[in-house]
Chain A
Amino acid sequence: MRPEPSAMRSTPTASLPLRLAGLALLTAFVQVGVVSEVPIFGVNADLSPLLVAFVGLLCGSTIGAAYGFAIGLLIDLLLLQTLGLSSLIFTLIGYWSGRLRELRDPQAALTPLLLGAGAAAASLIGYSLMEFMLGVDAPVSFELLRQIVLGVLVDAVVALPLWALVRVCLESALPEDPRRRRRRRRAYTTGGLSPLSRS
């Protein structure tokens, strides 16, 4: 039986959970094995909030939130960090990235970069707030702010290649979004060139 073309599918394919799990493991091991070992301007890029945000942007708020929770749990278990802390922060990042897609559906080329920077900022500020609440003795110092700003910039730099990877891995397993289909059709009928007329 031939697989259903993505343009006609209304639900994700069965391979989506496998692809998401594969991406999570790949990102976790690359993060721990390479990215965490290579400081850029004294800070390390953090791929996990970016991955969660991009999955939310592609798959929606429900999958984004669940994926954020799972990735957070994996990271906390793998690095023996305070259990539940990353899950809480990544659940919210995944949910709001998904809501961004559902409410605004941004199409600009810089969207992944801005979303990556936003997710990194949310993660770094979220961790800082939670650590303050859990009683870590650290004031809001210039050094801490510098680390947060540099962390956001470094994550924004790695956001575009990671977005390309996530999209390549997931797009063929996702259902076609009716809004995008409508938008394409509208572009053809209001002056945009259809692929047929171009050929």
Chain B
Amino acid sequence: MYDKTVRRRRALLVLLVVLSLLLLTAYFGEAPGGRLHGVQRAFLTVVSPIQNGANKALKPVRDTIGWFGDTFHAKSQRDSLRRQNSALRRQLVADQAEKRSLRELQGLYRVDQLGVGNYHPVTATVVGKSPNIWYATVTIDAGSSSGIRVDDPVVNGEGLVGKVAQVASDGAQVDLITDSSMGVSARLAHNGSTGIVQPKVGDPGALLLQYLPSTTQPNTGEYVVTSGTVASPDDSLYPPGLLIGQATSVNEETGFKSVNVRPVANLQNLDLVQVLTSASGSRASTLASLAASLPAGQSPPGGEASGEQYASSGSGG
């Protein structure tokens, strides 16, 4: 009797472990459009309304706990923001003059850059977040029924948050910019040097702007923004000028430089986000398809710009 119980217990353990390994292997081996991914999306469609309801019901609890944290940090944040405000005021005056000159030059050269204005923002609430340090993802309560598609950029009031990874009809999964799968073409806001922002290996929550030319002189505190280009056909096309983060330190490496970047968006406390959707046939959608179809570095037919450049500043007018 005892032997039978032991055998049954061990058989169950082996069965469950084998089942888990089979699931893991099948899921890891299949394409994002595969059957198991489809099951996940269907499950998300079913639980999205429940999750949304539970999220709303639990909001007072979350806000109460958040209130204590906010109060604790309020004073130091106020002092820091006052200093930042006075610096930004000075910068604004200088930037206004530059902006006027830029507008005049753009008029002269008929350059029509892809901007946030070319997108239709869809506001969504974050209803789920993975507690695991290995997954920098959130779930939102809007999906394909709101026009959201895979690879659409996601922003909040502070800056770039991530991109859409999977879509169900009433929900979507967003990979945050700190997720190990992410890579965003970016440039230093003042300096203008471009590179790729990726999560800093071994430091969850931090970013690294890599592959800057060795001649670049980046400054600590300088802002890092999206460059509006793609570095490979798998990348998403983000509109240029979206704020990603602030440079915290510079690393000197052989052949190139890299900059440690602190994301400006508070990715730990996301509540509302906007997904930048583009209707099919719109300028943003056309450029994204074009960027995805060109091998990186290949010149478009009849053009001088590389595929990367073409995505950001196709001839307008």
Among B54, B66, B130, B204, the residue within 8 A (CB) of A81 is B130
Q: How large is the interface on B (under 10, 10 to 19, 20 to 34, 35 or more residues)?
A: 35 or more
Please report whether the interface of chain A is mostly helix, strand, loop or mixed according to DSSP: helix
**CB-based contact B130/A77 at 8 Å:** no
Tell me whether A80 and B44 are in contact in the complex, defined as CB-CB below 8 angstroms, given that A65-B16, A144-B202 are known contacts.
yes
Most chain A CB neighbours (cut-off 10 Å) among B27, B39, B41, B130 = B130
Contact of A139 (CB < 8 Å), options: B57, B129, B202:
B202
**A 20-54 contacts with B by CB, 8 A:** 29-39, 42-48
Inter-chain contact A78/B17, CB cutoff 8 Å: no
Residue pair B205, A91 in contact (C-beta under 8 Å): no
Q: How far is the CA of A79 from the CA of B139 in the complex (A)?
A: 7
Interface residues of B in 17-56 (CB under 8 A from A): 17, 19-28, 36, 39-41, 43-44, 47, 50-51, 54-55
B129:A87 contact, CB within 8 angstroms: no
Given contacts A29-B58, A32-B127, A82-B28, contact A136 B43 (CB under 8 A): no
**Across the interface, which residues of A come within 8 angstroms of B8, CB to CB?**
62
Q: Which residue of A32, A39, A65, A83 is within 8 Å of B13 (Cβ)?
A: A65
Asked if B133 is at the interface (CB within 8 A of a chain A CB), the reply is yes
Q: Say whether, besides A46-B131, A69-B20, A84-B23, A137 and B180 are in contact (CB < 8 Å).
A: yes
Tell whether, in the assembled complex, residue B130 and residue A79 are in contact, meaning their CB atoms are under 8 Å apart: yes
The stretch that binds B, out of A7-15, A126-134, A159-167, A179-187, is A126-134
Report A-chain residues with C-beta under 8 Å of the C-beta of B16: 65-66, 68-69, 87, 91
Given contacts A31-B131, A46-B132, contact A88 B180 (CB under 8 A): no
Beta-carbon contacts under 8 Å, A99-149 to B:
124, 127-128, 131, 134, 136-144, 147-148
* Contact assessment for B12 and A32 in the assembled complex, using a CB-CB cutoff below 8 Å: no
CB distance from A130 to the nearest CB of B (A): 8
Chain A interface residue number, banded: 35 or more
Report the minimum CB–CB distance from A191 to chain B (whole Å). 33
Contacts A72-B20, A77-B39, A138-B201 hold; do A45 and B131 have CB atoms under 8 A apart?
yes
Residue of A36, A37, A136, A141 near B203 (CB, 8 A) is: A141
Majority secondary structure, B binding face: helix
Report yes or no: A84 in contact with B17, Cβ–Cβ below 8 A: no
When the two chains form their complex, are residues B131 and A34 in contact, meaning their CB atoms are under 8 A apart?
no
A174 at the interface (CB under 8 A from B): no
Q: How far is the CA of A112 from the CA of B133 in the complex (A)?
A: 24
Q: How far is the CA of A35 from the CA of B130 in the complex (A)?
A: 10
- Interface residue B72 (Cβ < 8 Å from any Cβ of A): no
Known: A33-B55, A62-B9, A95-B13. A143 touches B128 (CB 8 A): no
Name A85's contact: one of B22, B24, B50, B131 (CB within 8 Å). B24
A34 touches B61 (CB 8 A): yes
The 10 closest A-B pairs by CB, nearest first: A141-B202, A84-B23, A84-B24, A88-B20, A33-B58, A83-B27, A36-B129, A29-B54, A87-B20, A32-B128
Known: A42-B205, A82-B24, A88-B24. 12 other contacts (CB 8 A): A29-B51, A33-B127, A34-B62, A39-B268, A46-B131, A61-B13, A62-B8, A62-B9, A65-B13, A81-B132, A83-B24, A141-B201
